[in-house]
Amino acid sequence: MTSNLLHVWQIPSTQHFLRSSRLSKEISATLSFFRKMQTITCEITSASYVPITQARREVPTEDKTLSKLETVGAFQKLPMVMPSIDILYSALRKAKRITPTKGIANVAKRERNRGAKQLDALMKELAVPLKHYVEKFPNKKYLHPYERSLIELTLGDGNYEEVLGRVDTLRKKVQSVGKEQASLCAKSLSKREAEERLSEGMKKLEDIFKLEGNAVDDLLNIAKTLRIMPVVDLETPTLCLVGAPNVGKSSLVRILSTGKPEVCHYPFTTRGILMGHIDVNYQHFQVTDTPGILKRCDEDRNNLEKLTLAVLSHLPTAILYVHDLSGECGTSPSDQFVIYEEIRERFGNHLWVDVLSKCDLLQESPVIFITDDDGADNQEMARYRKMGPDGAIRVSVMNEVGLDELKGRVHDLLVSQLAKIKSQKKEQDT
């Protein structure tokens, strides 16, 4: 009896009930309405009702974006880009090897089948690599801020996106023209017409790729440039050498690490971010040499100076600030003092060690530049011109003075930086 009642009241099986009711039409409409009803749970977000299912779908996307932002090394995962001429000739060879479908007896049908298949194959052989490049080169907004800055300052703002856009435009044009020419060839009425349309289609695709294929070559150069960018491990302590141009940063990098930067007697010898490594007592550390900074506002800085500021802004580094009061570097001690004060104020939360380089060239009386008269009334600047900053380590690479002390201080600094990184990571995990 109970099972019969349940059977009667199941919504899909309502015919028995409807046959015995005068209100069958009204009840049928009501049941149909209830069948279509859906129950959702909402939450209030920004003064609006948002379905919880929708909100749950959005969370993993945000988490995925954040996880992408926290890592570096995207440049080493870039796809290998072939020169445009190699892509074209490879595609032409493969397309011309395509044969017509077996079993077609009519000569005209067989020829237009071969022509359509070859044009379609050529189109795909050209378009598929371009699609692969567009998909595999990372979207700049998902990169770590450090790598995003490297792209903007090394390639120029907007050039990366512009080249990828040109490659994608070429892909779309190849697909459009290829499909159009294959369709025309498939509609040929004779063998001769099919051959002519095949030849025309091949030439059109070849001309398009030759004319606009320089976008692929530009992308190849971008990939080469980005792939040689130094990889920084965010969990390994990094020592960043900072200072005015030609103060001796590169020489100290050679002494402290495995890095072998160029050492010359002219400004901006360091034309990019150069990495070296230190291994002490089975502990691994990173050292980076950065381009020199001049006394000027951020709007007037060149891209080399901006690279240095990007490293300090986006990477967890300890700073080894190098000063040169010998008069050899070309930047006056007064200007170096102004630069030092600015960097110290902006990045004072970094662990820090000051080094006074080329101490073998220092005289008892400091070198006076014409611009030094500007700060004659500033006692702190006057003391800096004579002695450098308080607590600075005096070193000479030429005479090997102070190098052992410097190496010991650097090791202690990097150990402290390691503890700081671990502490910050623990706070993020909790």
Same-domain pairing of 191 and 119: yes
- pLDDT band at residue 119 under the 50/70/90 scheme: very high
Same-domain pairing of 219 and 243: no
330 or 82: whose pLDDT is higher?
82
Whether 69 maps to a domain, the answer reads no
User: What does the block give as tokens for 394?
Assistant: 């005096």
Whether 72 maps to a domain, the answer reads no
Beta bridge partners of 354: 321
Give the range with max mean pLDDT: 54-58, 325-329, 389-393: 389-393
Cα–Cα distance, 144 to 200 (Å, whole number) = 47
Report the pLDDT value the prediction gives residue 157, as an integer from 0 to 100: 85
φ and ψ at residue 248, rounded to 5 degrees: 110, 15
Same-domain pairing of 250 and 202: no
Report the pLDDT value the prediction gives residue 52, as an integer from 0 to 100: 52
Same-domain pairing of 203 and 287: no
Count CB neighbours of 276 within 10 A: 20
118-132, 192-206, 242-256: segment of lowest average pLDDT: 242-256
Handedness of CA 83, 84, 90, 91 (dihedral sign): positive
Report the pLDDT value the prediction gives residue 16, as an integer from 0 to 100: 44
Same-domain pairing of 270 and 359: yes
Same-domain pairing of 168 and 213: yes
Same-domain pairing of 297 and 407: yes
User: What does the block give as tokens for 364?
Assistant: 């008892």
Report the pLDDT value the prediction gives residue 54, as an integer from 0 to 100: 45
Residue 172 reports pLDDT greater than 70: yes
Which pairs count as long-range contacts for 169-175, CB under 8 Å and 24+ apart, including other chains?
169/212, 169/215, 170/130, 170/208, 170/209, 170/212, 170/213, 170/215, 170/216, 171/127, 171/130, 171/131, 171/134, 173/208, 173/212, 174/123, 174/126, 174/127, 174/130, 174/205, 174/208, 174/209, 175/123, 175/127
Segment 205-246, tens digit of pLDDT: 999 999 999 999 999 999 999 998 888 888 889 999 999 999
| CATH code, domain carrying 205 | 1.20.120.1190
User: What does the block give as tokens for 4?
Assistant: 């019969």
Same-domain pairing of 278 and 420: yes
Domain stops at, among 158, 193, 227: 227
Residue 250 structural domain: 238-429
Segment 352-376, tens digit of pLDDT: 999 999 988 876 545 555 455 555 5
Cα–Cα distance, 51 to 42 (Å, whole number) = 4
| CATH code, domain carrying 402 | 3.40.50.300
Q: What is this structure's pTM?
A: 0.73
Same-domain pairing of 242 and 222: no
25 or 56: whose pLDDT is higher?
25
Cα 232–235–238 angle (5° rounding)? 55
Report the number of distinct structural domains present in the chain. Answer: 3
In this structure, what DSSP letter does residue 360 have?
G
What is the rounded average pLDDT of the residues 400-410?
Answer: 92
2-11, 137-146, 152-161, 354-363: segment of lowest average pLDDT: 2-11
What is the rounded average pLDDT of the residues 314-330?
Answer: 91
**Strands 283-289 vs 274-280: parallel, antiparallel or unpaired:** antiparallel
